[in-house]
Structure 1
């Protein structure tokens, strides 16, 4: 059975071939390994409100939005609390 990751990778190959935009090769969601590293780097604090949160209450967010070509990489990740991430949306 093909998992969601494989389906997204297969769907991203065609837009990549047509446009050359490498962000189509990335999954949109950050893997836990990246999110955990960024959470640690931010000292367990939300990048917007500055409050400290346990990892399970934080979400990975793209600095440059994925829809605008932002890559799903550690350099393009910030950890936000759920409330700040919902408020930020696609801004």
Structure 2
């Protein structure tokens, strides 16, 4: 498996993902009023995930730190392995 190079996510893509996810962590449900939100790759780049908008979602900083480079089985339904 080849690691996908990391690119900077453009501001307009970040804004779109936050709006699509209603400014809410897709793991624990906290909102931007409760915590710092980040953009995360559902399938990590280290595991062959892409920089495509369909592979991005909103996570709070804590959930993102806990996830590291693992895949979250709750989101696997959106992707073929």
TM-score for the superposition, normalised by structure 2 = 0.70
1:49 matched residue in structure 2: 28
* Partner Cα separation in structure 2 for residue 81 and residue 32 of structure 1: 18
The 5 A counterparts of 1:78-89 are: 78-89=57-68
TM-score for the superposition, normalised by structure 1 = 0.63
Q: Structure 1 residue runs of 4+, over 3 Å off? A: none
Looking at both structures, which has the greater relative contact order when contacts are Cα pairs under 8 Å and sequence separation is at least 6? 2
Unaligned runs of 5+ in 2: 71-81
Structure with the largest fraction of helix: 1
Higher-Rg structure is: 1
